[in-house]
Structure 1
Amino acid sequence: MVVDQKHANHDSELKPPFDFVGRDKGPYPIISAAERLSDMDTLERVHAYWRAANYLAVGQIYLLDNPLLAEPLRPAHIKPRLLGHWGTTPGLNFCFAHLNRVIAERGQDMIYIAGPGHGGPAAVAHSWLEGSYTETYPAITQDAEGMRKLFRQFSFPGGIPSHVAPETPGSIHEGGELGYSLAHAYGAAFDNPALVVACVIGDGEAETGPLAASWHSNKFLDPSRDGAVLPILHLNGYKIANPTILSRIPEPDLLNLLEGYGYRPHIVAGHDPAVMHGLMAETLDRVLDEIADYQAGRAARLPMIVLRTPKGWTGPREVDGRPVEGTWRSHQVPLAAVRDNPAHLALLEEWMRSYRPEELFDAEGRPVAEILQTVPEGPLRMSASPHANGGELLRPLVLPDFRDYAVEVPEPGTATTEPTRVLGRFLRDVIAANPETFRLMGPDETDSNRLSAVFEVTSRAWNAEILPVDENLAAGGRVMEVLSEHLCQGWLEGYLLTGRHGLFNCYEAFIHIVDAMFNQHAKWLDASRKIAWRRPVASLNYLLSSHVWRQDHNGFSHQDPGFLDVVVNKKASVVRVYLPPDANTLLSVGDHCLRSRDYVNVIVAGKQPVLDLFTMEEAIAHCTRGLGIVEWASNDAGAQPDVVLACAGDVPTLEVLAAAALLREHLPELKVRVVNVVDLMRLQPPSEHPHGMPDAEFDAIFTPGKPIVFNFHGYPSLIHGLTYRRTGHDNIHVRGYKEEGTTTTPFDMAMLNDIDRYHLVMDVIDRVPGLRVEAAHLRQRMSDARLHARAHTRTYGEDAPEIRDWTWPWDR
């Protein structure tokens, strides 16, 4: 290679002997000269490929035209708005270039997760060089015109985002929000024994709580049946404006930290490409050998790489007299005033020409054959891996017939069942029938949420020390439990996006911990559904139990149903919310959700005993409708109802039924219609949600003009938001959680928030014309009943038996 001395830090000549100054002198042995790679042609090709990727990345950030610099740069060639992130990009390109070599040489199945923020220019550059971008988007050809289009579309109106988005071939991790890359990587590796997931972790990302916990994912990896994760901790020193912690702590402390997490770290550090290419190549060869040893049981630890490079490596060293390369100033756009500042424009041209594009692309703009010789072929290309388009690999679950788990209901409303315990038996057999494609995630709550039947056929995944007193722990377990909702969510997302199935069970109040992760996944699904080549993946299924109305014993901190509000704000094409009121409806909903694709399904179901309301046949019909009249609890057949008592959620449904029974007992002439809602999105019009109920049908059930008292599981404003376009919206009065909670009894919890049966009767009296005076005595008795119920709890510490053991009064 000819060395351009002006840019020697970009293109130091690659020839033996390598200068190993700066190599790690840590606790691991230094590789001898005899062991070093001697194939200079290969490393020259890797170096040239890296230069090409860096050139393409800079072009994406800056250029509208003149992609090959066929003429001097002019302001007209520059984008009017310069967006993107350069600082992390050359390090990502460096890793990708070297990983390609080992994939091609070893035939290794691998995908690439770019954790550092907006590393989009790197991933797009590689997929274009590898040819997969053109295969996916035929208009973006591998020539000068295609390069121009590639540059123009980046962070441009109507184009593609600046991060590694769903539009980018080979991606399963967007990286817009930091902290989740390593959890996604492990999720992708579970049950993928031939796959290595290379995960680049930015040192800014490494400061987040989710990433800090993710290091422990290695304790859940089974070397005999899972793939491997290769963490590459990329320390380039800075975030947006500040230094990063792990780049500044003493290296022995960093190594001790990583070793304490259970990894075998290898350091690759430096600035000079002549040194760095050799170091990275030999380190990757060693690391891949160590991964093979780990999977064969010959090594106890997974290896990892700590990569130290300057931030903005190979970019401008100084701009306007201030250092840029190796500082936070290279984080986004190192040269910001290119259109208006001739000096900056000249610097940009000098920077881009330093990569010598005339050596990398032919006259037509095609990558020259020499730089593509280290690129793998076909699906071994990381940008073309089917694992990164998991719908291509997805196999339908083998599901038992959920009807076989039905609870017998000879008389509705008279017996009780723990719904999630019943669902647990169904999930047990789902796991048994799908031993390689289904996992159950949860933060140490599988037993607590009454799903313990699953342990009849599997264990909790665990690859750390096991004591004699421990139960249900094994390396190959299908239940993933760790006290980090972030890890559960990240593992499941990675598992789903690589073509498998699963369910995340969690206490309702603490699912809020992953609000932002849910947001990102919902946005990913929404974007993916619009991309023809992205195949549908299994839905992300949440089971929220130990919910707000049965956290009376744990108190205020455990009482929050607000995740539903977060969910319904997302695109209607993606989200679904179900509130099955009993065991049979839960079975029907559970089966439906496990069969679905490309959704986020949220199921809220209690683990405590609730009344059995529907036979299995009735449950299927009810869940298929999404909402409907509970005929046996209503007395308005053939007549206009005077009031509609609506409900969504198991405890609100119980209280509505009890209120309906009280009204039928004390006001027998009053026509009461009871409506239960299972599919919350049915409340919206069809114009707002695919599950929405037509106005005519909605009015037929809820009436256009009668009072509606709606008892809801969550915050009342959510029901108003879903129904505000309905004709009878002004008549809807919603009761729900209003941030009143404490450690108390279940019924007192209901009374604190006015969703109890007595208050519902009072609401009916207040809202049905003519009842205020006529039923004043009954209203007072209901108020007194509330006082009596509360006094009983303060005296005996539990709810009164007539409340606690209430069933539907069929004998009246």
Structure 2
Amino acid sequence: MNQIHTPTPKDQSAFKDLDAYWRAANYVSVGQIFLWDNPLLRRPLALADVKPMLLGHWGTTPGQNFIYVHLNRVIKAYDLDMIYVSGPGHGGPAVVGNTYLEGSYSEVYPEISRDESGLRKLFRQFSFPGGIPSHASPECPGSIHEGGELGYSLSHSFGAVFDNPELIVACVVGDGEAETGPLATAWHSNKFLDPATDGAVLPILHLNGYKIANPTVLARITHEELEQFFRGCGWTPIFVEGHEPVQMHALMAAALDQAVQEIRRFQCQAREHGQMERPRWPMIVLNSPKGWTGPKEVDGEPNEGNFRSHQVPLHPAEHAGHLKLLEDWLLSYRPDELFDEHGGLRPELAALAPSGLRRMGANPHANGGQLLRDLKMPDYREYAAQVPAPGVPGVGDTRVLGPFLRDVARLNDAERNFRILGPDETVSNGLAAVFETTNRQWNAATAPDDKWLAPQGRVMEMLSEHQCEGWLEGYLLTGRHGLFNCYEAFIHIVDSMFNQHAKWLNVSADLPWRRKIASLNYLLASHVWRQDHNGFTHQDPGFIDLVVNKSAEVVRVYLPPDANCLLSVMDHCLRSRHYVNVVIAGKHPAPQWLTMDAAVAHCAAGIGIWEWASNESADGEAGAEPDVVMACCGDVPTLETLAAVSILREALPDLRVRVVNVVDLMKLQPPSEHPHGLSDEGFDALFTRDKPVIFAFHAYPWLIHRLTYRRTNHKNIHVRGYKEEGTITTPFDMTVLNDLDRFHLVMDAIDRLPQTGAEGANLKVRLAAKLEEHKRHIRTYGQDMPEIRNWRW
């Protein structure tokens, strides 16, 4: 346990300045929440000086101010390259206020000047219409983590320090946030950190006792149990506990000195002496009152050290006496000692902050696009599957992609700016080739028969989709590149994390001072149509629906039909900037349709007619329209559509059939809705204005209707897709259960083509018999019929 340090007179003198800076940060924070005018209380506070709408979070803010002030000290003392991650990012007044005091905020926003006028603007804009959010949002310099949704701070922090050997991330973890599943798991990220080539994360548990209306779990267990918990997770906790400022300054200064020295010692042992034993990294537990330095009581109820201080503790417009409480609170920080006659922070206090790029608000790692370097990319065409004719067998699309990703990792190994992440699924998803050139990074114990585990590696796997997502987001936000591969059904685990990252990209794209970062790339394999062996629990393609809800400026969805299209798409995604790219591809052996040249052209267009599969102009008639459009999007829907077309062309040779394949899902929307969207004229040229369209889709069918509802021919579009029917069964039976199979697609076409007459009716009868034969066969033999398994175009 940390011993109480008795401050010396020299300490007390140094801490006096630190305390003054802390008071300034607290004053600026309270001002942001409450004040509309009179920013320095140069006259008595009036109700007209108070904002009509009070929003924000006070409870966590003073503790974060305390931490930030002390981090400034150690940055200067040790010349640290450090950024700040605010887990309780709803304490936005702290990060905004501290970047303002250090000067980085005014450099980004010159109108928020470092004087009384600028202070007034700073206060007015906070959590106000047309201003800035109350969280540690993208608008705040130095922020890579908004913290509006709790649980991801530690994951982001570790992602930021991978391959950043000089960087330290000071990660403030709220004790309420520590109750979330992602954060609870993130403590184990220390088993993946390489002290030789990675930076360090310094977690600071902000143990202030309460959430919104309840105590926190970690605050209500014994000191011994809390210490045992962190030691059991592999950390060395340093405790800073109390509420009296002078004593707390001394404890915090000693704790940070100890932590920084321990971090440097571990890194020196690894980098200079080759000692690779996993460090027991330091962390700090700051046990301080919630709402520290705020009103002790409000309306006879305890406030400081209580959940009531969580948000806005005073409401002067509604409660008599609150205006006086607010004035007394602000004056308790003695602003006349902190700011000069012009409203600027007094020079002797401003000098306590680091300078230049060492300021946490100006650190380039917190604006990762400044550091982003292009990936070195192999020529994806060299990895092409050979397709001498459409329909040749393939080994599995992601298995063709694997060697390409292997060489992306190899070419960028020296730069250390590319990683592949996944929840123990890289091999399962068909990407085992990457282990020909790299390992899984792993710094826990190993056994002799382990494979591909090493302290350094370009692949990171942990059976937590949350950690993989959070690590990758932190890695991207600090200027690197990566790919997240995952089973399609379980990418839903990070739905909310994706939401937050997409919102971050959307907001930051409109901030000219924020540079664009590498795209967040998802490769979803082991998808819904080939999870027949795992069953219903593994069958869900709904992540696409969530993705297309986000801003069209940042989301892209690709469903390549074969390996060569997958190579082309992935090359494009890895080169792209500031998007979320979702790529869905299969890993099982499947037919290959396009040569590499044809695939490149098809993917560039994103959608197109496959002339070789169509027969609409078989009689040589120029400009002939088809009788039916057979459309497909996704590898299995493409296979079943082409099988259906082969049946139609053989059984009904006079029928004119057009095959349209979609790679870029967003092509279906109008250009007014998505920048990739087809014009109405372009859409009609593919899908006609009045002919039936049978659309086989990878995911839930209603998404196609949603994307195309404005189109001229929407009323004739009939979509087949996943309709929540699944079980452990054969691959083809999965399509049958959802009416996506070739037989149902043919029958759908006949139902909309009265001109097929008796021939069409007879064909439907034969196909219905085939479906019955299929059911009997799989129940007897446990596999699909030979004519299905051995079908060729």
- Give the TM-score normalised by structure 2: 0.97
Matched, 1:70 2:3: no
Distance in structure 2 (CA, Å) of the matches to 1:263 and 1:363: 47
- The aligned residue for residue 444 of structure 2 is 464
AA of the residue aligned to 1:416: G
Deviation for aligned residue 1:414: 2.5
* Corresponding position of 2:150: 178
Equivalent residue number for residue 652 of structure 1:
637
Q: Deviations over 1:246-292 (max 9, x none)?
A: 00011101100100100000000000001100000011001100001
Give the secondary structure class of the aligned counterpart of 1:775: helix
Query: How big is the shift at 1:46?
Result: 1.2
1:132-151 residue CA offsets vs partner (Å, 9 max, x unmatched): 11100011000001000000
Q: Aligned partner of 2:687: which letter?
A: F
CA displacement at 1:774 relative to structure 2: 4.2
Is 1:84 aligned to residue 56 of structure 2? yes
Given the alignment, which residue of 363, 375, 394 partners 2:372? 394
Task: Note if contact 2:559-2:662 (Cα within 8 Å) is conserved in structure 1.
Answer: yes
1:322 CA displacement = 0.6
In structure 1, distance between residues paired with 2:20 and 2:109: 25
Query: For residue 595 of structure 1, what is the amino acid of its counterpart?
Result: R
The offset of 1:412, in angstroms, is 1.0
Counterparts of 2:545 and 2:511, CA distance in 1: 27
Q: Which residue of 1 aligns with 2:503?
A: 523
Give me the whole-angstrom Cα distance separating, in 2, the residues matched to 1:698 and 1:517: 34
Q: Distance in 1 between matches of 2:757 and 2:260?
A: 79
1:643 and 2:622 are equivalent in the alignment: no
- Please name the residue that 2:668 is paired with: 683
- Aligned to 1:383, the other structure's residue is in SS state coil
Residue 81 of structure 1 aligns to a residue whose secondary structure is coil
Choose which of 310, 320, 341 in structure 2 pairs with 1:363.
Answer: 341
Would the alpha carbon gap of residues 189 and 720 (structure 1) be closer, same or farther in structure 2, given more than 3 Å must change? Answer: same
What residue identity is the alignment partner of 1:108?
L
Q: Verify the 8 A CA contact 2:5 2:250 in the aligned structure 1.
A: no
Q: Mapping of 1:331-730 within 5 angstroms?
A: 331-335=310-314, 337-435=315-413, 436-637=416-617, 638=622, 639-730=624-715
In percent, how many aligned pairs have the same letter?
A: 65
Match of 1:127 in 2: 99
Within 2, Cα distance between the matches of 1:253 and 1:785? 65
2-structure distance, mates of 1:503, 1:772? 52
Counterpart of 2:361 in 1: which secondary structure?
helix
SS in 1 for 2:392: coil
Post-superposition shift, 1:370? 1.4
Contact 1:45/1:373, CA 8 A, preserved across alignment: no
The DSSP-based 3-state class of the residue aligned with 1:355 is: coil
Counterpart among 223, 230, 234 of residue 251 in structure 1? 223
1:667-712, CA deviations, whole angstroms, 9 ceiling, x for partnerless residues? 0000000100000000001000000011111100110110000000
Residues in 2 aligned to 1:547 and 1:612: alpha-carbon distance in whole angstroms: 18
Superposition misfits of 4+ residues, deviation over 3 angstroms: 30-34, 36-41
Cross-structure match for 1:153: 125
Q: Name the structure 1 match of 2:272.
A: none
Q: Is 2:246 the partner of 1:274?
A: yes
Deviation at 1:342, TM superposition (A): 3.8
Distance 1:357 1:621 in 2: 66
Question: 1:730: Cα distance to partner?
Answer: 0.6
Paired with 1:38 and 1:208, the residues of 2 have a C-alpha distance of 42
**Matched AA of 1:306:** V
1:444-482 per-residue CA deviation (whole Å, 9 max, x = no partner) reads 000000101110111001000000010100000110000
Q: Tell me how far apart the structure 1 counterparts of residues 279 and 496 of structure 2 sit (CA, whole Å).
A: 34
Offset, 1:588? 0.1
Amino acid at match of 1:585: C
1:801 Cα deviation from its structure 2 partner: 1.5
- Alignment correspondent of 1:18: none
Aligned counterpart for 2:203 among listed residues 207, 210, 231: 231
Q: Do structure 1's residue 745 and structure 2's residue 730 form an aligned pair? A: yes
Consecutive unaligned residues of structure 1, counting only runs of 5 or more, are 1-25
Contact 1:417 1:612 in 2 (8 A): no
Q: Name the CA distance, whole Å, in 2 between partners of 1:40 and 1:422.
A: 66
Q: Name the CA distance, whole Å, in 2 between partners of 1:38 and 1:515.
A: 52
Are residues 1:311 and 2:290 paired? yes
The SS at the match of 1:770 is: helix
TM-score of the aligned structures, taking structure 1 as reference length: 0.95
Q: Distance in 2 between matches of 1:802 and 1:495?
A: 48
Residue type of the alignment partner of 1:329: R
Q: Which residue, out of 775, 780, 788, partners 1:795?
A: 780
Take 1:376 and 1:784, find their aligned partners in 2: how far apart are those partners? 79
How far 1:772 sits from its partner (Å)?
5.3
SS at 1:296 equivalent: helix
Query: 2:108 and 2:666 mapped to 1: Cα distance?
Result: 35
Matches within 5 A, 1:159-174: 159-174=131-146
* Deviation of 1:39 (Å): 4.0
Q: Alpha-carbon deviations, 1:688-745, whole Å to 9, x = none?
A: 0000011111100110110000000000010001001111111100000000000000
8 Å contact kept, 1:508–1:561: yes
| Alignment gaps of 5+ in structure 2 | 270-274
